[in-house]
Amino acid sequence: MTQAVMDLDRRSGISPRRVPVAPNAVIGMLIFVVAEVMFFAALMSAFTITKISTLGPWPPPGQPRLPIEATAVNTGVLLASGIALFFARRQHALVPRKALRLLGASALLGATFVTVQGYEWVQLVREGLTLRSGPHGGFFYLIVGAHALHVLAGLMVLGLALRKLQRDELSPGYFAATRVFWYFVVLLWPIVYFRVYL
Amino acid sequence: MKPKALAVLSAVAVFCLPALALACPVCGAAQNDANQRAFVGSTIFLSLLPLAMMGGLAAWGLWRVRKQAEERKSEDVPRDSSVQLRLEPRP
Protein backbone atom coordinates (compact mmCIF):
# COMPACT_ATOMS: atom_id res chain seq x y z
CA MET A 1 0.00 0.00 0.00
CA THR A 2 1.61 3.21 -1.07
CA GLN A 3 0.30 6.66 -1.19
CA ALA A 4 1.08 8.87 -4.13
CA VAL A 5 2.05 11.97 -2.32
CA MET A 6 1.76 14.91 -4.63
CA ASP A 7 4.48 16.68 -2.85
CA LEU A 8 5.38 18.99 -5.70
CA ASP A 9 7.85 21.58 -4.70
CA ARG A 10 6.21 24.73 -5.96
CA ARG A 11 9.42 26.56 -6.58
CA SER A 12 11.63 23.90 -8.14
CA GLY A 13 8.96 21.72 -9.78
CA ILE A 14 10.36 18.41 -8.48
CA SER A 15 8.38 15.32 -9.59
CA PRO A 16 5.83 13.73 -7.21
CA ARG A 17 7.30 11.75 -4.30
CA ARG A 18 5.77 8.36 -3.36
CA VAL A 19 5.89 7.68 0.35
CA PRO A 20 4.87 4.20 1.58
CA VAL A 21 2.19 4.24 4.25
CA ALA A 22 3.80 1.21 5.91
CA PRO A 23 6.66 -1.18 5.02
CA ASN A 24 5.69 -3.95 2.58
CA ALA A 25 6.54 -6.58 5.18
CA VAL A 26 3.97 -5.08 7.56
CA ILE A 27 1.25 -4.95 4.89
CA GLY A 28 1.96 -8.56 3.92
CA MET A 29 1.89 -9.67 7.54
CA LEU A 30 -1.37 -7.81 8.19
CA ILE A 31 -3.04 -9.56 5.26
CA PHE A 32 -1.75 -12.90 6.57
CA VAL A 33 -3.02 -12.12 10.08
CA VAL A 34 -6.48 -11.23 8.69
CA ALA A 35 -6.61 -14.67 7.02
CA GLU A 36 -5.47 -16.33 10.25
CA VAL A 37 -8.11 -14.49 12.27
CA MET A 38 -10.77 -15.91 9.94
CA PHE A 39 -9.29 -19.39 10.36
CA PHE A 40 -9.49 -19.19 14.16
CA ALA A 41 -12.94 -17.54 14.02
CA ALA A 42 -14.22 -20.50 11.99
CA LEU A 43 -12.74 -22.98 14.49
CA MET A 44 -14.24 -21.09 17.44
CA SER A 45 -17.65 -20.89 15.78
CA ALA A 46 -17.68 -24.62 15.09
CA PHE A 47 -16.60 -25.26 18.67
CA THR A 48 -19.29 -22.96 20.11
CA ILE A 49 -22.05 -24.65 18.10
CA THR A 50 -20.84 -28.11 19.09
CA LYS A 51 -20.61 -27.09 22.75
CA ILE A 52 -24.14 -25.65 22.76
CA SER A 53 -25.54 -28.58 20.80
CA THR A 54 -24.26 -31.05 23.37
CA LEU A 55 -26.98 -32.05 25.79
CA GLY A 56 -25.76 -32.00 29.37
CA PRO A 57 -22.67 -30.44 30.92
CA TRP A 58 -19.51 -29.43 29.10
CA PRO A 59 -16.97 -31.06 29.16
CA PRO A 60 -19.00 -34.26 28.87
CA PRO A 61 -18.94 -36.52 31.95
CA GLY A 62 -16.03 -38.92 32.06
CA GLN A 63 -13.73 -36.57 30.17
CA PRO A 64 -10.66 -35.12 31.93
CA ARG A 65 -10.90 -31.55 33.26
CA LEU A 66 -8.69 -28.96 31.63
CA PRO A 67 -5.96 -27.37 33.82
CA ILE A 68 -7.65 -23.96 34.19
CA GLU A 69 -5.42 -22.48 36.94
CA ALA A 70 -2.07 -23.52 35.44
CA THR A 71 -3.15 -22.24 32.04
CA ALA A 72 -4.22 -18.92 33.57
CA VAL A 73 -0.66 -18.47 34.87
CA ASN A 74 0.66 -19.52 31.47
CA THR A 75 -1.61 -16.91 29.86
CA GLY A 76 0.11 -14.32 32.04
CA VAL A 77 3.48 -15.56 30.79
CA LEU A 78 2.45 -15.08 27.15
CA LEU A 79 1.00 -11.64 27.87
CA ALA A 80 4.27 -10.70 29.59
CA SER A 81 6.07 -11.77 26.42
CA GLY A 82 3.93 -9.34 24.43
CA ILE A 83 4.65 -6.55 26.92
CA ALA A 84 8.39 -7.26 26.71
CA LEU A 85 8.19 -6.96 22.92
CA PHE A 86 6.32 -3.66 23.26
CA PHE A 87 9.12 -2.23 25.40
CA ALA A 88 11.73 -3.78 23.07
CA ARG A 89 10.24 -1.72 20.26
CA ARG A 90 10.49 1.47 22.32
CA GLN A 91 14.07 0.68 23.24
CA HIS A 92 14.90 -0.18 19.62
CA ALA A 93 13.70 3.25 18.53
CA LEU A 94 16.12 4.90 20.99
CA VAL A 95 19.19 2.64 21.13
CA PRO A 96 18.74 -0.45 18.89
CA ARG A 97 21.37 -2.61 20.60
CA LYS A 98 19.73 -2.11 23.98
CA ALA A 99 16.57 -3.84 22.75
CA LEU A 100 18.48 -7.14 22.64
CA ARG A 101 17.66 -8.15 26.21
CA LEU A 102 13.97 -7.30 25.96
CA LEU A 103 13.63 -9.10 22.64
CA GLY A 104 15.40 -12.10 24.15
CA ALA A 105 13.08 -11.98 27.18
CA SER A 106 10.06 -11.90 24.89
CA ALA A 107 11.27 -14.98 23.00
CA LEU A 108 12.15 -16.77 26.25
CA LEU A 109 8.69 -16.12 27.74
CA GLY A 110 7.08 -17.36 24.52
CA ALA A 111 9.19 -20.52 24.65
CA THR A 112 8.20 -21.03 28.30
CA PHE A 113 4.53 -20.75 27.34
CA VAL A 114 4.75 -23.38 24.61
CA THR A 115 6.83 -25.70 26.83
CA VAL A 116 4.23 -25.56 29.61
CA GLN A 117 1.52 -26.19 27.00
CA GLY A 118 3.40 -29.26 25.81
CA TYR A 119 3.67 -30.55 29.38
CA GLU A 120 -0.07 -30.01 29.88
CA TRP A 121 -0.82 -31.94 26.70
CA VAL A 122 1.26 -34.90 27.87
CA GLN A 123 -0.69 -34.91 31.17
CA LEU A 124 -4.04 -34.70 29.38
CA VAL A 125 -3.18 -37.52 26.97
CA ARG A 126 -2.18 -39.66 29.99
CA GLU A 127 -5.56 -38.88 31.55
CA GLY A 128 -7.33 -40.08 28.40
CA LEU A 129 -8.09 -36.86 26.50
CA THR A 130 -7.14 -37.55 22.90
CA LEU A 131 -8.19 -36.34 19.46
CA ARG A 132 -10.47 -39.35 19.14
CA SER A 133 -11.98 -39.27 22.63
CA GLY A 134 -14.87 -37.09 21.42
CA PRO A 135 -15.70 -33.55 20.34
CA HIS A 136 -14.18 -32.15 23.55
CA GLY A 137 -10.74 -33.63 22.86
CA GLY A 138 -10.98 -33.08 19.12
CA PHE A 139 -11.71 -29.38 19.38
CA PHE A 140 -9.30 -28.86 22.26
CA TYR A 141 -6.31 -30.26 20.38
CA LEU A 142 -7.35 -28.65 17.11
CA ILE A 143 -7.77 -25.10 18.44
CA VAL A 144 -5.03 -25.10 21.07
CA GLY A 145 -2.73 -27.03 18.73
CA ALA A 146 -3.28 -24.56 15.90
CA HIS A 147 -2.41 -21.74 18.29
CA ALA A 148 0.67 -23.60 19.55
CA LEU A 149 1.87 -23.99 15.95
CA HIS A 150 1.50 -20.24 15.51
CA VAL A 151 3.50 -19.66 18.70
CA LEU A 152 6.28 -21.89 17.34
CA ALA A 153 6.27 -19.99 14.04
CA GLY A 154 6.34 -16.72 15.99
CA LEU A 155 9.30 -17.96 18.04
CA MET A 156 11.21 -18.69 14.83
CA VAL A 157 10.47 -15.17 13.55
CA LEU A 158 11.49 -13.68 16.92
CA GLY A 159 14.68 -15.75 16.87
CA LEU A 160 15.55 -14.44 13.41
CA ALA A 161 14.86 -10.87 14.57
CA LEU A 162 17.13 -11.46 17.56
CA ARG A 163 19.89 -12.76 15.31
CA LYS A 164 19.52 -9.82 12.94
CA LEU A 165 19.65 -7.41 15.86
CA GLN A 166 22.85 -9.00 17.14
CA ARG A 167 24.40 -8.39 13.71
CA ASP A 168 22.95 -4.86 13.45
CA GLU A 169 20.94 -5.99 10.43
CA LEU A 170 17.42 -5.67 11.86
CA SER A 171 15.42 -3.43 9.55
CA PRO A 172 12.44 -1.46 10.95
CA GLY A 173 10.14 -3.20 8.43
CA TYR A 174 11.15 -6.71 9.51
CA PHE A 175 10.88 -5.81 13.17
CA ALA A 176 7.44 -4.25 12.67
CA ALA A 177 6.17 -7.34 10.81
CA THR A 178 7.55 -9.55 13.60
CA ARG A 179 5.68 -7.49 16.18
CA VAL A 180 2.42 -7.67 14.21
CA PHE A 181 2.59 -11.47 14.15
CA TRP A 182 3.62 -11.85 17.78
CA TYR A 183 0.94 -9.44 19.03
CA PHE A 184 -1.61 -11.46 17.06
CA VAL A 185 -0.43 -14.69 18.71
CA VAL A 186 -0.40 -13.08 22.17
CA LEU A 187 -3.79 -11.37 21.90
CA LEU A 188 -5.47 -14.41 20.38
CA TRP A 189 -4.60 -16.65 23.31
CA PRO A 190 -6.83 -15.03 26.01
CA ILE A 191 -9.80 -15.43 23.63
CA VAL A 192 -8.91 -19.10 23.08
CA TYR A 193 -8.48 -19.56 26.82
CA PHE A 194 -11.87 -18.04 27.69
CA ARG A 195 -13.70 -19.95 24.97
CA VAL A 196 -12.06 -23.36 25.29
CA TYR A 197 -10.96 -23.65 28.93
CA LEU A 198 -13.70 -21.77 30.80
CA MET B 1 -39.05 -12.03 -21.31
CA LYS B 2 -38.00 -8.44 -20.94
CA PRO B 3 -35.20 -7.74 -18.44
CA LYS B 4 -37.42 -5.36 -16.46
CA ALA B 5 -40.18 -7.96 -16.06
CA LEU B 6 -37.58 -10.56 -15.09
CA ALA B 7 -36.19 -8.26 -12.41
CA VAL B 8 -39.68 -7.63 -10.97
CA LEU B 9 -40.48 -11.35 -10.97
CA SER B 10 -37.15 -12.12 -9.27
CA ALA B 11 -37.82 -9.50 -6.59
CA VAL B 12 -41.30 -10.95 -5.95
CA ALA B 13 -39.82 -14.44 -5.72
CA VAL B 14 -37.19 -13.28 -3.25
CA PHE B 15 -39.84 -11.79 -0.95
CA CYS B 16 -42.38 -14.63 -1.32
CA LEU B 17 -40.22 -17.73 -1.07
CA PRO B 18 -37.78 -17.26 1.82
CA ALA B 19 -39.33 -20.09 3.80
CA LEU B 20 -38.67 -22.52 0.98
CA ALA B 21 -35.12 -21.42 0.30
CA LEU B 22 -33.28 -21.04 3.60
CA ALA B 23 -30.02 -19.19 3.16
CA CYS B 24 -28.37 -21.51 5.65
CA PRO B 25 -29.87 -25.02 5.55
CA VAL B 26 -27.82 -26.00 8.61
CA CYS B 27 -29.49 -23.28 10.72
CA GLY B 28 -32.88 -24.78 9.85
CA ALA B 29 -31.67 -28.16 11.08
CA ALA B 30 -30.89 -26.82 14.55
CA GLN B 31 -32.11 -29.13 17.30
CA ASN B 32 -33.24 -26.49 19.79
CA ASP B 33 -33.46 -22.74 20.39
CA ALA B 34 -29.98 -22.47 21.92
CA ASN B 35 -28.51 -24.34 18.98
CA GLN B 36 -30.32 -22.11 16.50
CA ARG B 37 -29.14 -18.99 18.34
CA ALA B 38 -25.59 -20.30 18.18
CA PHE B 39 -25.90 -20.86 14.42
CA VAL B 40 -27.34 -17.39 13.83
CA GLY B 41 -24.75 -15.76 16.14
CA SER B 42 -21.91 -17.57 14.39
CA THR B 43 -23.25 -16.59 10.97
CA ILE B 44 -23.45 -12.93 11.98
CA PHE B 45 -20.00 -13.06 13.63
CA LEU B 46 -18.32 -14.72 10.65
CA SER B 47 -20.06 -12.37 8.21
CA LEU B 48 -19.14 -9.17 10.01
CA LEU B 49 -15.60 -10.10 11.08
CA PRO B 50 -13.95 -9.77 7.64
CA LEU B 51 -15.78 -6.50 7.02
CA ALA B 52 -14.64 -5.17 10.40
CA MET B 53 -11.04 -6.21 9.73
CA MET B 54 -10.94 -4.74 6.23
CA GLY B 55 -12.57 -1.57 7.56
CA GLY B 56 -10.02 -1.46 10.36
CA LEU B 57 -7.14 -1.84 7.91
CA ALA B 58 -8.55 0.90 5.68
CA ALA B 59 -9.03 3.21 8.69
CA TRP B 60 -5.48 2.50 9.84
CA GLY B 61 -4.13 3.27 6.34
CA LEU B 62 -6.07 6.53 6.27
CA TRP B 63 -4.77 7.45 9.71
CA ARG B 64 -1.19 6.79 8.55
CA VAL B 65 -1.68 8.92 5.45
CA ARG B 66 -3.01 11.83 7.52
CA LYS B 67 -0.23 11.48 10.07
CA GLN B 68 2.40 11.53 7.34
CA ALA B 69 0.75 14.58 5.77
CA GLU B 70 0.86 16.39 9.14
CA GLU B 71 4.51 15.44 9.62
CA ARG B 72 5.34 16.79 6.16
CA LYS B 73 3.51 20.01 6.92
CA SER B 74 5.49 20.50 10.11
CA GLU B 75 8.71 19.86 8.17
CA ASP B 76 7.80 22.54 5.63
CA VAL B 77 8.19 25.38 8.08
CA PRO B 78 8.85 28.61 6.17
CA ARG B 79 12.35 29.89 6.58
CA ASP B 80 12.84 32.76 8.93
CA SER B 81 13.80 35.71 6.80
CA SER B 82 15.43 37.42 9.75
CA VAL B 83 18.17 34.76 9.90
CA GLN B 84 21.14 35.98 7.93
CA LEU B 85 23.58 33.60 6.32
CA ARG B 86 27.06 34.58 7.24
CA LEU B 87 29.93 33.31 5.16
CA GLU B 88 33.24 33.06 6.88
CA PRO B 89 36.53 32.75 5.06
CA ARG B 90 38.25 29.40 5.19
CA PRO B 91 41.22 29.23 7.53
How crowded is residue B26: how many other Cβ atoms within 10 Å of its Cβ? Answer: 11
Q: Is A191 on the interface with B (CB under 8 A)?
A: no
Q: How confident is the model at residue A5 (pLDDT cuts 50, 70, 90)?
A: very low
* Residue B82: per-residue pLDDT: 55
ipTM, two decimals: 0.72
pLDDT surpassing 70 at residue B90: no
pLDDT score, position A126: 93
* Top-confidence residue, B36 or A192: A192
Gap between the Cα atoms of A34 and B52, Å rounded: 10
Return the pLDDT at B18: 62
The reply to whether residue A48 touches residue B38, judged by beta carbons under 8 angstroms, is yes
- pLDDT tens digits, one per residue of B35-80: 888 888 888 999 999 999 999 999 999 999 898 888 888 877 655 5
Element (H, E) at A17: strand A17-20
CA distance A86 to chain B (A): 19
Secondary structure letter of residue A5 according to DSSP: E
Q: How far apart are CA A77 and CA A23, in angstroms?
A: 30
Could you state, in order of their start, the residue ranges of all structural domains in chain A?
24-55+62-197
Which residues in chain A have their CB less than 8 angstroms from residue B73's CB? none
- Per-residue pLDDT of A129-141, as tens digits, reads 988 888 889 999 9
Count H helices and E strands in chain B, helices first: 3, 0
First to last CA, chain A: 40
Q: What is the CATH number of domain A24-55+62-197?
A: 1.20.120.80
CB B24 within 8 A of CB A27: no
How confident is the model at residue A8, as a pLDDT? 47
Burial class (CB in 10 A: 0-12, 13-18, 19+), A26: buried
- Cα torsion A53, A120, A150, A46 to 10°: value is 0
In terms of pTM, does the model score above 0.90?
no
- Structure confidence by residue, pLDDT tens digits, A140-165: 999 999 999 999 999 999 999 999 99
Q: What pLDDT score does A4 carry?
A: 46
Residues of B in contact with A135 (CB under 8 A): none
Give the CB-side neighbour count of residue B82, counting CA atoms within 13 A. Answer: 0
Does pLDDT of A2 surpass 60? no
CB contact under 8 A, B50 and A34: yes
**Beta carbons of A156 and A181 less than 8 angstroms apart:** no
Would you mind telling me the total number of residues written for chain B in this entry?
A: 91
